[in-house]
Each structure stands twice: as C-alpha cells, then as structure tokens.
C-alpha cells in the first residue's frame, strides 16, 4: 500500500441528468456499452446495488450523471440516443458498504465498466482510490476518485476484415513465439519510431518477416488486456512491464496504441491481427482471468470491488472482509459465480468473434478450475469452454499451476486444451546444464529415463495410458524459457540471479534456475573457450526443444541470444534490459540461422511432428519400430543403462514409416568426447543434417554407413536423416 499526498476532502456531487438528455429504457443484454449507429445501450450487472449512476465525461473532464432506473435480473440499463463512439463514461454504484459481510459499494469511486471495450487514461497514485483512510483503515474515505482513475470508452464495432481468414494451424504444425508488444518493437530499427512499442509497430513487415523467416506459425502476446501500472512500482520509478494486472477483460491495453485511446486502439489491434493472418501467423493472447488489479482488502476500488464485491471475488469463509488468494496478487475471481463465468466466457468469445484472435494461454489456470482446495478438470468453466462451438475450435493453453494448495496440475486439464510442460523445461535444463555443472564440479549426474520421456512427447502426463493416446503429444507445450526466468543466453551465463535493478535487494525471483555459467559468471572478459561452450549449450537446448515431440514454444529474442543480464524476474523493467536488441553480432546472426534451420528441419520431416505417442511396434509394412532407443554401441538400449546416472549417451531413431525420412537423434550429455556406433537402421546411409558444434548450419555434410563409428564432441547432439 502506498501513502501519496492526501488531497483536500471533497463531497461527492449528487447525480445530475443533462437538461436535454433523452433516456430510454434500453435492454439488459448485451452487458457493457453497445453502439448501434444512433445511440448506445448501457447495461451493468450488480446484485448488490441500490442505485447506479452512469457518468458521462466530455473532453474537459466535466461529469454528467444519468441515474439508471431500469433493472432486470440485477442488470441496470438504459439507452441513450446520440451517444456515439469515443464517449468516455464510468459508473457510480450505491449500496451497502459492509466489508464484514462482503459488500464494498462506494458511490464516491468512479468505476470502470467490466465490459468496457476500450479504456482511456491511467491510474495515478492517490488516496482517493481507496474507500478507507490510510491513517486509520477503520475510517471511511469518501473522496471522489474521478481525477485519478481511468474511463471506459464507447467504441464503434465496425471493422473491414476484407478477406481475412484465420490460419487454423494444426497443433503438430504449430511453432509458438512468445513476445511482448512493446519489447518486440521498441528497439527495432526497421519499425518507424512513432510506431515502436505499439500494435501497429508489431504489424510492420520487418517484424512479421522475422517471424516468417524464423518459422514461427503463432505469436503469443503477453498480456494485452487493459492492465494497471501498480502505484508502488510507479513511486520506485519502475512499472508493471509484463502486464499481469488486468482491470479490463475486453479492452486492448491503451498504452500500446499508436493512433489514440478513445476507441482507436480497438481498430489498431484488429488491423494487427489482420496483418498476422495475411502472413499465415496466428495470434494467441496470454490472458489473466484468475484475479484483477484491485488487490486485497487494502487495495483500490476501481471496478469490480465497488460494483458487486461478493459476486466477483472469492472471499474467505468466515471472514468476508478478506480475499481468498491462490494467485499471489491479493485476490482470486469467484469461478463458481454466474457473473464471473459469464464475464469470462463473454470476454473469450468477444476476442475470437470480434477481434479475430486464434487462441489463449491462461495464466495460473488452476485457479480457473478450483473447487475449494482442489483442481477439478470438470469444473463448469472448463466444461463450458471446451464444449463451446466457437472456443473449442481455437487454441486453449493452460499454465497448469497456481500458488494455492495442490496447485501443480500439469497434464490434468481436459481435451482439447494443451499445457505448458514445466517437466520438459526442467528435464532439458537439467540434462544440458545442471547435471554437467554438477559433474564438472565433482558431483553426479542423472539417468536418461526422463530425457527420453520428454523427447517422446511426455506420455506420462499427456498419454493417460499412452495407447490410444490420451490428449496427444501436441498437448505438451514444450519450452525451456519463457518471459518469467532466465533467457536462453542467461541460462548458460549465470549461476545465480542478479535482480538488483528490481529494488528488492535481489530477494525476488527463483533461486533454482538449473543454469550453468560454464565456469565464468556474466559477460565481462569471458575466455574464448567458455564463450564457445556457451553457444554450443544454447544450440543443444534449441535442438532438443525444436526436434522433440510436442508443440515448441520459443521466447522472443532467444534465437538472437538476448540477455537480461541475469535478471530472472524482469516484470518491472520497461527498458532496454527487457526489449529485444536487433543490433546483432555475427554469432547472434548464426544462432538465428541455426534456429531457423532446425525449424525447417522439423517442418520438412513429419516424423519429427508426431500426433500420437509411440507404440513400440513397427507400423504396417515397415521393418523399423515407430521409435527405438540405442546405446553407444548402436545396439538396443539395455534396461540397466536407463538407470545408470554415469551413462549419458542416447540414440533415438524415429521411423518415417517408409513414406518419409527416418530421423536419428544422438545426444552426448557427458563433458568428454564419446565414440558412438550408429545403428543399422534400414541398412541405408545416414546423412548428417546438423551438429550442435557447428556455429551455423552447413549445406554440405558427410554421409555415414549404417553401423559406422564416429566421435561426438563433449556436450553435443547430432541429427541424421
């Protein structure tokens, strides 16, 4: 909680209706502000209200209040002729203020419409936003908040989509690229300066061409729902860069708009989606439906709290003045409330049907499916979503954990959703970094069972019996890095986090990163041999990620060797530390070429994109098993070696079924060279397609006879066709 200068107390003016204002009854549905060409229908749900004022604002900030007289099914509504797009508005809700009973209505606070399609302005630090006195929380504060909060905006829903068609990529063809609207473009030299950091900037040809040339088929945008920049961060000179602090579930975040914030941001966002679709790239949104920006019982009153607190938030049983929190943000939405379920379902459908997006990644998704202390895969929200005729056709991706009890649920979500696979992340980091770090320091490593399971699609989590296949390999969203944590380059450059810039004395962020600096912390005066080893480790992880069964997700800038200087929790760093730097050294250009080559290899060889889990049988009319494992001698992998932590060489042969190339992946996870004998396969030569020791892909590569012996460099991998 912050304590800014307290303004002079002022009384809340009585509601006033404009002398010439026509007010018609209107309709209770749809909720929100709906413009029809002649006027606007306003509808607000509140079961707690005893009175609702619609507040209209002109460009000078003058407020006109219109009392809503019509109420149907707890929806307060009116139709106002002549109200057109660009009109700023909000609500004041009268009703009980009794926190002990879960009610926090406060007409002195201007409230955002939960269904606002656009939002103007920002929240600025002020005690007026709070319904209590900072000096004594038991004392009511009835200062008017209008001067320090945001406005809802009426929009024109029309947009010319032309011949737009969603790409509708199948999961086995999908490569996800996680990016930040501002961070992706703020430093891009080919994006016009006035468009950098905006939706329009992200839609520029230079950005789209980068994604196309890389091989990405979907861009997953970090939060673009309207969010609040935390006042405590503002006072430190920092800001909520990531945006996991939503207040408007229908509105594109206004500070990412280049062309205005009185509804223009909606048109700009649609234009961006249209541009990506024209390039055959899907747009997936990272969405935060688990909590809002209003925080805990000491948070500001911005919208939901003042409209109908007990209908929107999960309150503590027996202590309704407090919020049950499984998100670490102070509150959790009440997912069993019809009002909340309708809000989220309406929001999801709106973003698909009206804005044109192609899917969602659900932040802290366990909260969305909680029944008490346990996650329920058959929760009404998930059942409504996966059976919805529209939403069930787009990509639905879960972050399968939250901070509450029993919060880790990777693999337990219903089809057709997919999950971020943290087990894949941990296994790959461990095999290529944490275990070699231990071995080179005189410690032990780990056996190969978990690596093989991840390479084959994580049937232990997504197979549900493996045959016939459960949710399928595609349900595993494989990743090694994401926005939260070290970048790929920092994973190989830092043993410890360096979050001092966050001004929390380096206490924030995870201490368990499974990273390895290769014997030299950071980037100052790095010996050449360590720099070479680091680059090889990055290529090892890219190769493992891209060529494993499942759906790969890359983090923006990892293909360029982006660093955050060891900061593994850069949520508050809206600056060059987190923005993608497009001025590249030669090794970074080589790394980008490597990532693009590996993605082409995956695209061109269907055997690397299996839809089903392996069966340990040979397909019809094939002499090879669909997937087989071999040891260093080229013979079948003995059972005992799977359990031997000192054995770190693995050969994985996938059969193309006679219709396409077979692919052999060879891994050497030991810090010394290994002599490997290739398996017999079909008795035809193996062509070396890629070696992680190569700084850049090669067009001319050697061919090996079946059963040939070759030497693998320490900590390296190869791909043979």
- Of 307, 309, 340, 311, the C-alpha closest to 52 is 307
Task: Determine whether 113 is an active site residue.
Answer: no
124 in Cβ contact with 302 (< 8 Å): no
CA distances in angstroms from 363 to 128, 223, 305, listed in the order given:
30, 9, 21
CA atoms within 13 A on the CB side of 442: 0
Please say whether the dihedral angle defined by the alpha carbons of residues 594, 598, 599 and 601, taken in this order, is positive or negative. Answer: positive
Indicate which residue of 113, 220, 286, 363 is catalytic: 363
Q: How far apart are CA 313 and CA 319, in angstroms?
A: 13
CA-closest candidate to residue 576, choices 557, 592, 590, 595: 557
Under 8 Å between Cβ of 435 and 515: no
Omega within 30 of 0 (cis) for the link into 560: no
- Sign of the Cα torsion 435, 440, 444, 445 reads positive
For residue 652, what are the β-bridge partners?
Answer: 629, 665
Is 363 a catalytic site residue? yes
Q: Using an 8 Å Cβ cutoff, are 308 and 339 in contact?
A: yes
Question: Torsion over CA of 689, 694, 700 and 705, rounded to 10 degrees?
Answer: -50
- Helix, coil or strand: residue 628: strand
Distance CA 392, CA 493 (A): 41
Phi, psi of 54 (to 5 degrees): -85, 125
Choose the catalytic residue: 53, 220, 399, 631. Answer: 399
The rounded distance, in Å, linking the Cα atoms of 122 and 119 is: 9
Q: Residue 233: which H helix or E strand, with range? A: helix 231-235
Query: Is residue 453 within 8 Å of 614, Cβ to Cβ?
Result: no
CA terminus-to-terminus distance, the chain: 60
Please state whether beta strands 476-478 and 551-555 pair in parallel, antiparallel, or not at all (unpaired).
parallel
Are the C-beta atoms of 44 and 26 separated by less than 8 Å?
Answer: no
Tell me the backbone φ, ψ of residue 307, rounded to 5 degrees: -85, -50
Q: Based on the number of CB atoms within 10 Å of its own CB, is 583 exposed (0-12), middle (13-18) or buried (19 or more)?
A: exposed
In sign, the C-alpha dihedral spanning 215, 218, 223, 224 is positive
d(CA 482, CA 87): 39
Residues designated catalytic:
363, 399
């Amino acid at each position: 909680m912050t304590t800014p200068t307290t303004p002079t107390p002022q009384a809340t003016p009585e509601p006033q209706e404009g002398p010439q204002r026509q007010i018609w009854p209107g309709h209770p549905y749809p909720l929100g502000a709906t413009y029809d060409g002649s006027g606007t229908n306003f509808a607000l749900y509140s079961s707690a209200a005893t009175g609702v004022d619609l507040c209209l604002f002109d460009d000078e900030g003058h407020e006109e209040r219109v009392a809503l007289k019509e109420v149907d099914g707890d929806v307060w509504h009116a139709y106002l002729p002549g109200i057109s797009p660009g009109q700023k508005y909000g609500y004041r809700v009268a009703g009980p203020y009794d926190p002990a009973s879960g009610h926090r209505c406060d007409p002195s606070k201007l409230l955002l419409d939960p269904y606002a399609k656009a939002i103007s302005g920002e929240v600025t630090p002020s005690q007026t936003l709070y319904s209590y006195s900072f000096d004594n929380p038991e004392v009511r504060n009835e200062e008017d908040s209008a001067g320090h909060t945001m406005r809802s905006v009426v929009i024109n829903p029309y947009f010319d989509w032309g011949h737009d068609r969603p790409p509708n990529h199948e999961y086995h063809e999908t490569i996800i690229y996680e990016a930040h609207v501002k961070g992706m473009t703020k430093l891009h030299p080919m994006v016009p300066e006035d468009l950098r950091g905006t939706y329009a900037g992200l839609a520029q040809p230079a950005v789209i061409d980068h994604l196309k040339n890389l091989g990405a088929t979907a861009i997953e945008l970090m939060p673009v729902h309207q969010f609040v920049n935390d006042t405590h961060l503002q006072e430190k000179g920092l800001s909520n860069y990531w945006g996991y602090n939503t207040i408007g579930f229908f509105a594109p975040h206004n500070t990412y708009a280049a062309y205005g914030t009185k509804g223009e941001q909606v048109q700009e966002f649609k234009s961006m989606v249209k541009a990506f679709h024209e390039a055959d790239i899907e747009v997936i949104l990272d969405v935060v439906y688990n909590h809002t920006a209003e925080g805990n019982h000491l948070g500001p009153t911005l919208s939901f709290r003042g409209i109908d607190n007990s209908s929107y938030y999960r309150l503590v049983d027996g202590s309704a003045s407090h919020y049950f929190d499984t998100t670490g943000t102070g509150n959790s939405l009440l997912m069993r409330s019809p009002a909340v379920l309708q809000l989220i379902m309406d929001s999801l459908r709106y973003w698909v049907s009206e804005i044109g997006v192609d899917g969602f990644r659900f932040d802290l998704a366990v909260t969305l499916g909680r029944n008490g202390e346990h996650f329920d895969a058959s929760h009404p929200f998930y059942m409504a979503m996966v059976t919805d005729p529209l939403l069930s056709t787009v990509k639905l991706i879960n972050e399968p954990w939250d901070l509450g009890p029993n919060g880790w649920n990777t693999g337990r979500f219903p089809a057709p959703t997919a999950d971020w696979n943290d087990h894949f992340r941990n296994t790959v980091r461990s095999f290529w970094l944490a275990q070699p770090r231990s071995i080179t320091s005189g410690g032990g490593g780990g056996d190969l069972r978990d690596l093989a399971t991840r390479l084959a699609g994580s049937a232990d989590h997504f197979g549900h019996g493996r045959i016939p296949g459960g949710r399928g390999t595609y349900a595993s969203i494989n990743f090694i890095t994401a926005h939260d944590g070290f970048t790929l380059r920092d994973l190989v450059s830092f043993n410890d986090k360096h979050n001092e810039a966050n001004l929390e004395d380096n206490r924030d962020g995870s201490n368990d990163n499974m990273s390895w600096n290769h014997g030299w912390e950071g980037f100052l005066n790095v010996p050449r041999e360590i720099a070479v080893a680091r680059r090889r480790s990055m290529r090892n992880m890219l190769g493992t990620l891209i060529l494993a069964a499942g759906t790969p997700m890359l983090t923006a800038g990892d293909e360029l060797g982006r660093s955050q200087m060891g900061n593994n929790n850069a949520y508050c760093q809206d600056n060059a530390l987190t923005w993608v730097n497009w001025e590249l050294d030669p090794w970074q250009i080589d790394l980008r070429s490597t990532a693009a080559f590996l993605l082409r290899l995956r695209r061109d060889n269907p055997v690397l994109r299996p839809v089903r889990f392996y069966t340990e049988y040979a397909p019809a009319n094939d002499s090879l098993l669909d997937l087989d494992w071999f040891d260093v001698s080229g013979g079948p992998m003995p059972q005992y070696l799977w359990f031997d932590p000192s054995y770190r060489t693995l050969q994985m042969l996938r059969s193309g079924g006679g219709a396409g190339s077979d692919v052999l992946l060879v891994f050497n996870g030991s810090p010394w060279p290994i002599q490997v004998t290739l398996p017999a396969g079909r008795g035809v030569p193996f062509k070396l397609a890629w070696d992680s020791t190569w700084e850049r892909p090669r067009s001319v590569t050697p061919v090996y006879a079946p059963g040939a012996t070759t030497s693998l460099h320490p900590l390296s991998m190869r791909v043979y066709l």
